[in-house]
């Protein structure tokens, strides 16, 4: 009897070792990643595949989200199998839907559960405090997004917390432990802040929960010093121990943040003040540096997609929907009312190059409009937004934009390809956008980077705009008749308009 029991134990142990192992030879990646692919390319491939194969639950579509994949509960239940989880006391789990079951498993195991505040708006994380003697149903409520709000107490930076295990969501992850999130950088920033306050270190175990199709080959050169890597991957069918060799971030890399980011995340300002008092270098980076691919520090500008669903144009710059409605009325309708339309746009700060009579109103309006139109790369302050673009500005036309694409998705794709413009004019209803660059050389580099760009399964067309308008808005409609009139206008009239604007 003892021999039989021993053999059964050995069999179970062998099966467990086979399950929790590097499974490179067990399953080939379903999604093939092309050589030279960027982070954005990989995200797009994964999102498109999940949508195409209908592998996700609500919310849909999964683009720009951590996918709430089907069988997520099954994958989360594997968390209880990990020895590192069994021996842990405090577990931090991200607040996304596909990890809700991981939060429940943590509470059910009577461990301390920490959940980050969404987008770090009101602090770093909350400690979930279930009612005394809570049953399973009550614990499930506590693990939900609403329960996280109702049954929690905030944990400050000065709290003496030691986190034993961290669970994060991912868009894509490799069996070597390289992870790609949705592009906003919050998981990386949460880890960096916990490392700065001494809550985690290099030995802290990081687990991600994903669908099997999200396990892909990610080139290690895409992973930066600020990127969080993972030690375990849990899927509905397997547990993968990555044996990752890349180091985890040791703290906040302040040069990858800018002042605008600190304004959006107040707790960052507090942490920076504490580190400055401790004598650490807390020099911030510039806005243009923060927009480099992979830094993922200015993404909160993508918040418009979280508003109630409405027109694609309304999801971005406010003026676009107005402009689109006028375009739909037709060229003939528009010409007789051209002057009043301009006057109305000027009062909103639309500011068309030669029509700046009411300079004060135009300056104020343009400041608000440019703040909406600018991508994350443009946090250069109000003074810059009130000035015209440089005379050397070169405009690139981007056509073939698929219906339903958000401007935030396009901005992220541009940053990933190092093609972030000075200004982006969005005309989603016409399936196009205009990108302003500082000079022809920068525009040529952007054109080269944008070749072969594909979003939501549609190839985009990038080329120099037909008309280079210098300081004028690149997003003005390309009407030959209007262009001809502009070219034919006497220089004296243009000069008078400029003088009037100066007055």
Domain boundaries, the chain: 39-241, 394-464
Neighbouring C-beta atoms of residue 81, cutoff 10 Å: 14
Supply the pLDDT for residue 304: 39
Compute the residue count for the chain.
503
Question: How confident is the model at residue 5, as a pLDDT?
Answer: 65
Cβ-count burial 181-207 (b if 16+ within 10 Å, e if not)? bbbbbbbbbbbbbbbbbebbeeebbbb
Residue of 272 and 235 predicted with greater confidence: 235
Average pLDDT over residues 152-171: 90
Average of per-residue pLDDT values in the chain: 74
pLDDT at 340: 40
Full-prediction pTM beyond 0.75? no
Q: What is the spatial distance between Cα 301 and Cα 407, in angstroms, rounded to a whole number?
A: 10
Residue 155 — pLDDT band, cuts 50, 70, 90? Answer: confident
- Residue with the bigger pLDDT between 410 and 319: it is 410
Calculate mean pLDDT across residues 17-37.
68
Q: For the packed helices 186-196 and 266-277, what is the interaxial angle rounded to 10 degrees?
A: 30
What is the enclosing helix (H) or strand (E) of 480? helix 480-488
Q: Name which residue leads in pLDDT, 110 or 291.
A: 110
**Looking at residues 78-101, what average pLDDT do you find?**
94
Where is 93: in which H helix or E strand?
strand 90-93
- Fold topology of 394-464: Alpha-Beta Plaits (3.30.70)
pLDDT at 121: 66
Give the 3-state DSSP-derived string for 2-60, with helices as H, strands as E and coil as C.
HHHHHHHHHHHHHHHHHHEECCCCCCCCCCCCCCCCCHHHHHHHHHHHHHHCCCECCCC
Q: Which residues pair with 114 in a beta bridge?
A: 92, 127
Position 473 pLDDT exceeds 70? no
Q: pLDDT tens across 401-456, in order?
A: 888 788 888 888 888 888 889 888 988 888 899 898 888 888 888 888 888 888 87
- Residue 284 per-residue DSSP state: P
Q: Give the tens place of pLDDT for each residue, 244-263.
A: 989 999 889 888 888 888 88
State how beta strands 239-241 and 423-427 pair.
Answer: unpaired
Question: Which whole number is the average pLDDT over 120-125?
Answer: 70
CATH code assigned to 39-241: 3.40.50.10420
**Mean of the pLDDT values across residues 358-386?**
40
Report, as an integer, the average pLDDT of 176-196.
90
CA distance 335 to 339: 8
């Amino acid at each position: 009897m003892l021999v039989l029991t021993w053999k059964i134990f050995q069999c179970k142990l062998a099966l467990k070792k086979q399950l929790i192992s590097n499974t490179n030879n067990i399953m080939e990646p379903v999604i093939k990643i092309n050589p030279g692919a960027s982070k954005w390319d990989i995200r797009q491939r994964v999102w498109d595949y999940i949508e195409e194969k209908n592998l996700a639950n609500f919310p849909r579509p999964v683009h720009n989200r951590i996918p709430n994949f089907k069988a997520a509960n099954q994958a989360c239940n594997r968390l209880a199998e990990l020895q590192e989880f069994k021996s842990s006391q405090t577990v931090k789990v991200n607040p996304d839907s596909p990890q809700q079951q991981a939060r429940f498993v943590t509470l059910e195991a009577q461990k301390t559960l920490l959940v980050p505040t969404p987008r770090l708006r009101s602090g770093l994380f909350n400690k979930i405090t279930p009612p005394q003697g809570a049953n399973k149903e009550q614990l499930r409520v506590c693990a939900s997004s609403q329960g996280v709000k109702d049954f929690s107490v905030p944990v400050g930076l000065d709290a003496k917390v030691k986190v034993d295990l961290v669970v994060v969501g991912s868009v894509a992850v490799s069996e070597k432990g390289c992870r790609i999130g949705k592009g906003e950088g919050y998981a990386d920033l949460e880890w960096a802040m916990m490392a700065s306050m001494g809550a985690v270190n290099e030995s802290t175990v990081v687990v991600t929960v994903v669908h099997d199709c999200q396990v892909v080959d990610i080139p290690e050169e895409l992973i930066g010093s600020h990127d969080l890597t993972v030690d375990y991957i849990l899927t509905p069918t397997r547990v993968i121990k990555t044996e990752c060799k890349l180091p985890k971030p040791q703290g906040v890399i302040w040069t990858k943040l800018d002042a605008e980011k600190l304004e959006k995340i107040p707790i960052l300002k507090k942490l920076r003040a504490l580190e400055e008092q401790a004598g650490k270098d807390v020099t911030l980076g510039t806005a243009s540096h923060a927009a480099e691919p992979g830094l993922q520090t200015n993404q909160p500008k993508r918040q418009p997609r979280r508003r109630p669903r409405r027109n694609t144009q309304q999801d971005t710059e406010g003026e676009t929907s107005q402009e689109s409605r006028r375009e739909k009325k037709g060229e003939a309708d528009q010409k007789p009312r051209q002057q009043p339309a301009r006057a109305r746009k000027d009062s909103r700060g639309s500011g068309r190059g030669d029509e700046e009579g009411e300079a004060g109103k135009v300056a104020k309006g343009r400041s608000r409009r440019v703040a909406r139109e600018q991508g994350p790369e443009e946090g250069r302050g109000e003074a810059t937004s009130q000035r015209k673009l440089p005379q050397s500005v070169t405009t690139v036309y981007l056509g073939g934009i698929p219906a339903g694409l958000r401007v935030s998705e396009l901005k992220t794709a541009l940053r990933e390809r190092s093609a972030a413009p000075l200004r982006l004019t969005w005309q989603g209803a016409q399936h196009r956008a205009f990108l302003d660059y500082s000079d022809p050389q920068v525009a040529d580099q952007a054109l080269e980077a944008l070749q072969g760009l594909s979003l939501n399964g549609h190839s985009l067309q990038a080329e120099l705009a037909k008309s280079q308008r210098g300081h004028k808005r690149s997003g003005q409609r390309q009407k030959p008749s209007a262009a001809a009139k502009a070219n034919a206008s006497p220089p004296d009239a243009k000069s008078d308009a400029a003088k009037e604007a100066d007055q």
